[in-house]
Amino acid sequence: MSQVARRYYDRGRQSLENGDLESAQEALRAALDLAPGFGNARVAYAVALARAGDAPRAAQILRHGIPRCLSKVSSAAMYATLGDVLVLGGDFFGAEEAFQMAAQTPGFEVRVASGLARVYARLNRYQDMAAQLKKAAAASSKPDRPQ
């Protein structure tokens, strides 16, 4: 990855944190143009798009990036973010599938369980929602869990 792409990414993340979604999208899109395999930039760009109300485009950006991932962790992060974006867009079955894909990678237990709980709540599957919330609570209270 080039230093220029990294600077665009840093600028985009800062804009995203400050709530300047238009500047964030511009900088993160430039980072992706320079380094299409830059997973963190792709996730941040999708988040910026979703926060701006463009969930379908955010989902497309993530789906396009998953095959480019260089590690299982990066792939799982994209799947988990895709799940969040699909919930936002109302595609609950697609979100469930995305979270289940992320669940195949250790370290995503809490994020997957909390995401699935949101999905199941929207689908009126309250017993499944409660079970996922219990999983999330149990996984987040483990002392060996990385912070």
Show the tokens assigned to 63.
């789906």
Q: What is the pTM of this model?
A: 0.88
pLDDT at residue 9 tops 50: yes
Tell me which CATH code domain 55-141 carries: 1.25.40
Estimate the share of the chain in helix, then strand, then coil, as percent rounded to the nearest 5: 80, 0, 20
Residues of CATH 1.25.40 domain(s) within the chain? Answer: 1-52, 55-141
Residue % of the chain over a pLDDT of 90: 88
Direct distance between the N- and C-terminal alpha carbons of the chain, in angstroms, rounded to an integer:
27
Tens digit of each residue's pLDDT (9 = 90 or more) over 41-84: 999 999 999 999 999 999 999 999 999 888 999 999 999 999 99
Show the tokens assigned to 128.
């499944």
Show the tokens assigned to 130.
């409660």
Tell me which CATH code domain 1-52 carries: 1.25.40
